[in-house]
Amino acid sequence: MSVRHRSGVLVRNAALLAAAAHLAPAGTWLPGPRRALFPTLAGRGRRGHVALTFDDGPDPRTTPRFLQVLDELGVRATFFVLGDGVTRFPHTTLEIVRRGHELAVHGWTHSRPWLPTVSRDAHEVARAARAIRLATGAVPRWYRPPYGILTGGRWLAAARAGLTPVLWSAWGRDWTADATPGSVAAAVRRDLRGGATVLLHDTDRAAATGCWRATLAALPVLVAECRAAGLQVGPLAEHGIRHR
């Protein structure tokens, strides 16, 4: 084997290893392995509690509507926000905290991480956490990447920023154009039990236009069902998940 050929093999092998290190952790997106092998990542908390979480905000058009309904229900939640939205809509971001809710990091933008971008991931996650602190004074503790794709780079970025990754154990599939209050409630109900973390969305910024209306209408039903089952509904901070 020539030196040039050997060098080419080494470069290709290094590239394959880098890609594997980047993509392998993203397999935690699959709900079965996540629930069985990574209960904290799946958001499994104390049995008498359900963590209510929202992704993709803040959105001045829609987030205040969710805050109003949550006030009426007497429920507090965790909002995984995007850094670019925090800087564009600081007043909406601050209002989330003023209403007693918890802020967490969803990233800087709602991007898909197909290629390894370790340095960019670290920069953007830290930047989003800093934006939350500057806008509200709150120090975020949790991280959920867009689409729930937790690559090796994003896992490392969360660790460097002092954030604990949390995905979900139940979701409403509320980002589609055909979502209805009934379909959102039914989707959550399939995996809803004590200790669950529920994923919903308070905006359509990264989803079908207007789909947030189905989620908003489903909220009272879901909260009522939890309470009828003797379950408390609240933010991740009260869920019993250990922060790193």
221 has a pLDDT exceeding 50 = yes
pLDDT 10s digits, 33-68? 655 546 778 899 999 999 999 999 999 999 999 999
Q: Is the pLDDT of residue 156 over 70?
A: yes
Q: Is the pLDDT of residue 92 over 90?
A: yes
Map out the domains of the chain with their CATH numbers.
3-238 (3.20.20.370)
**Mean of the per-residue pLDDT values for the chain?**
87
Residues noted as catalytic: 55, 201
pLDDT digits (tens, 9 = 90+) for 158-171: 999 999 999 999 99
Residue 236's pLDDT is what? Answer: 98
Longest distance between any two alpha carbons in the chain, whole Å: 73
What percentage of the chain carries pLDDT values higher than 70? 82
Give this prediction's pTM. Answer: 0.87
Residue 135, pLDDT above cutoff 60: yes
Q: Please, which pLDDT band fits residue 2 given cuts at 50, 70 and 90?
A: low
Q: What pLDDT, in 10s, does the model give residues 105-125?
A: 999 999 876 566 788 999 999
With a cut of 50, say whether residue 19 has pLDDT above it.
no
